[in-house]
Structure 1
Amino acid sequence: MIVDAIEEEPVVIEGVKIPLDTSKPNPNNIEYDNLYLDMNGIIYPCFHTEDRPSPTTFDEAFQCMFDYIDRLFVMVRPRKLLYMAIVEEERLLAEFEREGRNLPPKQESQVFDSNVITPGTQFMIVLSIALQYYIHLRLNNDPGWKNIKFWAQGSRLTRFGPKPGLHKIISYICLQRNLPGYDPNTCHCLYGLDADLIMLALATHEYCRAAR
């Protein structure tokens, strides 16, 4: 079934935005333990924006990503785990090419070339550092983040092999399910833009049986 998510909006007092307290109960009347983010579904839209100009610097791209993650975190409010499956760079580049995205001139932008989103580039190295900074910032300023554990699975890491982000997430869930003491009532929330997201999520219990 499809259900619209309730999103709380921050209060603005005399031009000052008051941050939401994500430690409070989820307004959707459901509490999630774990939130899994397929970063393909976050990084790509931040380079292909519809509601703001396309980023021209690393800082602008990172801020767009942080705003995106903030919005998802406020909606879901996980209580135990935030998992980020870092972008599958080659796949993202192919999506850029299929879309025929217009890139700003080189002299006007740090991110003029979609090749910045490939393994070993300065962009991907700085992205990793920026995400660490973002997490530490939220841990120190948002009470909803204080008890959260984090896991970042990059495309250059090999624990689960060279899989798309969504499949890395499913593999991680299966790994947890097979550990002693795992709570079978753990409530998971998966976010991504892949068409197979819904079917993989619904079949996770069968997938895990087959993966043992």
Structure 2
Amino acid sequence: MKKTLESAFVTTLPVLFGYLFTGIAFGLLLSKAGYGVLWAALISTVVYAGSMQFVLVTFFDGGLSLFTMAMMTFAINIRHSFYGLSFIQKFKEMGKKRLYMIFSLTDETYSLLCSAKTPEGVDEKRYYMAIALMDQIYWIIGSVLGSVAGALITFDTTGIDFAMTALFIVIFVEQWLEARNHLPALVGLAAGIICLLIFGPGNFILPSLLSSVLLLMLLKARLDVTEEADKADKEQEDVQ
């Protein structure tokens, strides 16, 4: 178990620094909206929806009903349903733990699980669970710290919600540098830009995800060939 936790901690280090500061940003905004530490901890534990939590702060100020907020949360985070498609089989094998894995599959956790290589001698299911759990703990700690700081420090929080966008950019760049095949990333970028131009900033996420999935399915044969070639090259490099 110790090796599993150590391996998961090393894997989640990029998210640790990102979630701490982004969580602090959320906690600050929530504090400025008049909600204390307990609210920050509760929302980050039960909702745990990243960018949606920043939007949630404005919902509180707007006096929207719980039903409206629930529907808006579903619409904004519906992209997570696409993330789970590639982990259906692995999550099924995790028994009751699959419920938490589904709940905790944020953008960053999904990114780590896609690229994570289970260390030798470590159980994959426990490794995945540790990654997901650590990521949420980082987010909760950041949210609480931000809420406490917001209650003690007075300053202008304008633009602080850009922290979530910055975290996405950092993770994308890191994966771009590590990946040998950039075609999936280019497909996603192209789909996002085209859908943004067609549907506008408020409605482009779902169409871009759908078009990305369809394009990647069409390109699956080519991607599989490239992946096999990359594996062969890596094995040859390891031998040398």
- Structure ranking higher in helix proportion: 2
TM-score normalised to structure 1 length: 0.29
TM-score w.r.t. structure 2 length?
Answer: 0.26
Higher CA-based Rg: 2
Q: Which has the higher strand share?
A: 1
